[in-house]
């Protein structure tokens, strides 16, 4: 306005022209002020809530069909969380119980951890020792139909309703595997175990083996019990298997890592927006042991809490990390209950390994499917190797170079090279469970002969017994592809012997045999000399 007062004698034309210019300059400070105001999150929230109320009013008033407002709002809340990162989620009240069961309870169903990606149920991980694992479902598998009904755009609530059910009932699924064709599978529902330690057994007279499948509220107690058991059996070196362990509680990961660290050193620390969510976990030397060599097995399904354990072991040079580059989840979530029984799981911090590494993989908003799909690329490890020089470098306590910015890179890369052929897989995944039934019958018929597990573990199944099994398949109306079975005969025999051992001596005995067909575990044995060297170097 002062500008106009100083220009009273200006021609009318110039005033009109100037008025246009001044309008522009008046608008600029106004927009600046509005922009600054808009950056206040409470102002944005107030404005957007007003708009949302208007939208809901008009949808409810004008939409041509009745609207399920609860469903609509659940969708809105889910959309809010999806805008943050791939791991922040909204959990409706009806599903909260199901989420809690994963770490505390027990339920019956097929046993998968899943998400709805690209419109389809996508397997994140089959639950250990569940029907879905027994039939061979893999991370990344898409369920395209359920009992003949198209599963595209299915909701999570519908997934629970259709895939869960009483033990002994079956469900027919159509599976689309990344890079492959669709194939049918029938899964018989069963009790879904929630234990953290899948098995704890001796692989030979001195090598202990623990398969840890998740980090639940009971993980540290289960781990202590397992280590004590193996020590009594003569363990002097250990393989800790964290493959396909998708994570869990941060505190339990720190407790587990502490079991292998006998120095007052940092295990993991977190950084967030608020100081109150930042934590530093320091090892208690009284809880840790460093008197035996340790190899930690990881793969692309090892995420979050399992990466914390692997990262601590690697950064502190406590043991050797072997297998494949891990998932790359360096975000910490907190589950917060809402007043209506629902909850949000929101990322509150990033976690860092002792050397300062952030191992979170890059992600882009709205590209969750690509975020997960990258894991299943056949050339994933080669791609990671090609980008290794672009990743930030850090040093372990002994000065070894390790990398951040995309998972835990193993000290020794061990690829998973063997997969049963399709004909063999159909037998393994058959709904009649022929291996389990035949193995159980064999154990019952030869019970008195099966007196010593170690003798059985080192024996072989006779050719006659294998032929009897093939005849049994025919009796059950199962017609195998004999060429595939012949090619995979050694593997199939190992699985049969594992079922016999399970029926006679229990699941730990079964794994003592089954792992002989696991190329990653068997290769890991050859690296114990290098794992032992860490003990001498750190003393």
Segment (H or E) for 385? helix 380-386
Q: How confident is the model at residue 16 (pLDDT cuts 50, 70, 90)?
A: very low
**Pairs from 391-400 (Cβ < 8 Å, separation ≥ 24):** 392/357, 394/315, 394/353, 394/355, 394/356, 394/357, 395/355, 396/314, 396/315, 396/316, 396/317, 396/355, 397/265, 397/315, 397/316, 397/317, 397/354, 397/538, 398/317, 398/537, 398/538, 400/317
Q: How confident is the model at residue 12 (pLDDT cuts 50, 70, 90)?
A: very low
pLDDT digits (tens, 9 = 90+) for 454-499: 899 989 999 999 999 999 999 999 988 889 999 999 999 999 999 9
Same topology between domain 106-192 and domain 197-413: no
| Active-site hit among 85, 315, 317, 484 | 315
Q: Judge contact between 192 and 106, C-beta under 8 A.
A: yes
Q: How confident is the model at residue 539 (pLDDT cuts 50, 70, 90)?
A: low
CA distance 406 to 250: 19
SS3 state of residue 428: helix
Q: Report the pLDDT averaged over residues 515-536.
A: 92
Most confident option among 5-19, 137-151, 192-206, 230-244:
230-244
Q: Report the pLDDT averaged over residues 504-509.
A: 85
Residue 30 has pLDDT above 70, yes or no: no
Most confident option among 26-30, 82-86, 190-194:
82-86
pLDDT for position 26: 39
Q: Judge contact between 243 and 125, C-beta under 8 A.
A: no
Most confident option among 38-42, 253-257, 427-431:
253-257
| Active-site hit among 129, 220, 306, 329 | 329
CA distance 66 to 71: 12
pLDDT for position 401: 94
Burial of 471 (C-beta count, 10 Å sphere; 0-12/13-18/19+): exposed
Q: Which two tokens stand for residue 34?
A: 């509005």
The verdict on whether 315 is a catalytic residue reads yes
Q: How confident is the model at residue 104 (pLDDT cuts 50, 70, 90)?
A: low
Residue 23 has pLDDT above 80, yes or no: no
Q: Write down the domain spans for the chain.
A: 2-39, 42-83, 106-192, 197-413, 422-522
Q: Which fold has domain 106-192?
A: Pdz3 Domain (2.30.42)
pLDDT for position 98: 60
pLDDT for position 400: 95
Q: Which two tokens stand for residue 16?
A: 């009109």
**Mean pLDDT (the chain, rounded):** 85
| Active-site hit among 125, 304, 306, 502 | 304
Q: How confident is the model at residue 3 (pLDDT cuts 50, 70, 90)?
A: very low
pLDDT digits (tens, 9 = 90+) for 442-456: 988 898 999 999 899
The verdict on whether 287 is a catalytic residue reads no
Mean pLDDT lowest among 104-113, 159-168, 393-402:
104-113
CATH number 3.40.1550.10 is the correct assignment for the domain at 197-413: no
pLDDT digits (tens, 9 = 90+) for 284-310: 999 999 999 999 999 999 999 999 999
The verdict on whether 329 is a catalytic residue reads yes
pLDDT for position 220: 95
CA distance 49 to 529: 62
CA distance 125 to 196: 14
The 8-class DSSP code of residue 408 comes to P
Segment (H or E) for 521? helix 519-524
SS3 state of residue 159: helix
Mean pLDDT lowest among 202-206, 209-213, 477-481, 521-525:
477-481
């Amino acid at each position: 306005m002062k500008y106009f007062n100083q220009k009273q004698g200006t021609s009318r034309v110039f005033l009109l022209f100037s008025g246009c210019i001044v309008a522009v300059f008046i608008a600029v400070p106004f927009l600046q002020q509005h922009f600054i105001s808009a950056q206040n999150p409470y102002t944005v929230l107030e404005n957007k809530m007003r708009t949302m109320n208007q939208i809901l009013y008009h949808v409810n008033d004008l939409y041509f069909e009745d609207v399920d407002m609860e469903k609509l709002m659940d969708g809105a809340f889910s959309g809010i969380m999806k805008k943050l990162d791939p791991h922040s989620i909204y959990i409706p009240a009806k599903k909260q119980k199901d989420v809690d069961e994963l770490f505390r309870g027990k339920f019956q169903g097929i046993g998968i951890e899943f998400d709805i990606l690209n419109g389809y149920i996508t397997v994140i991980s089959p639950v250990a020792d569940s029907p879905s694992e027994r039939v061979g479902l893999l991370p990344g598998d898409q369920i395209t139909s359920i009992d003949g009904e198209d599963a595209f755009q299915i909701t999570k609530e519908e997934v629970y309703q259709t895939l869960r059910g009483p033990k002994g009932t079956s469900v027919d699924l159509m599976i689309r595997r990344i890079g492959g064709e669709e194939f049918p599978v029938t899964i018989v529902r069963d009790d879904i175990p929630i234990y953290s330690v899948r098995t704890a057994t001796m692989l030979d007279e001195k090598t202990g083996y623990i398969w840890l499948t998740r980090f639940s509220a009971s993980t540290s107690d289960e781990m202590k019990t397992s280590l004590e058991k193996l020590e009594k059996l003569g363990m002097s070196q250990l393989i800790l298997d964290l493959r396909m362990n998708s994570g869990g509680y941060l505190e339990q990961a720190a407790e587990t890592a502490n079991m292998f660290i006998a120095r007052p050193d940092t295990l993991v620390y977190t950084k967030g927006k608020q100081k109150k969510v930042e934590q530093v976990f320091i090892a208690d030397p009284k809880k840790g042991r460093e008197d035996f060599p340790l190899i930690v097995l990881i793969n692309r399904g090892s995420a979050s809490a399992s990466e914390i354990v692997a990262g601590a072991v690697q950064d502190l040079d406590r043991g050797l990390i072997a297998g494949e580059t891990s998932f790359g989840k360096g975000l910490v979530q907190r589950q917060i209950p809402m007043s209506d029984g629902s909850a949000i799981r929101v990322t509150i911090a990033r976690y860092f390994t002792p050397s300062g590494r952030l191992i979170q993989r890059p992600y882009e908003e709205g590209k969750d499917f690509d975020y997960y799909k990258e894991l299943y690329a056949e050339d994933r490890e080669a791609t990671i190797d090609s980008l290794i020089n672009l990743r930030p470098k850090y040093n372990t306590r002994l000065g070894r170079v390790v990398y951040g910015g995309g998972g835990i890179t193993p000290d020794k890369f061990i690829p998973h090279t063997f997969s049963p052929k399709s004909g063999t897989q159909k037998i393994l995944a058959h709904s009649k469970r022929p291996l389990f039934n035949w193995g159980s019958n064999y154990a019952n018929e030869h019970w008195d002969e099966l007196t010593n597990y170690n003798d059985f573990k080192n024996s072989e199944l006779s050719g006659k017994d294998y032929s009897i099994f093939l005849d049994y398949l025919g009796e059950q109306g199962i017609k195998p592809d004999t060429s595939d079975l012949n090619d995979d005969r050694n593997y199939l025999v190992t699985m049969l012997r594992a079922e016999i051992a399970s029926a006679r001596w229990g699941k730990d005995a079964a794994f003592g045999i089954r792992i002989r067909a696991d190329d990653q575990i068997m290769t890991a044995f050859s690296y114990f000399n290098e794992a032992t060297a860490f003990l001498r170097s750190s003393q």
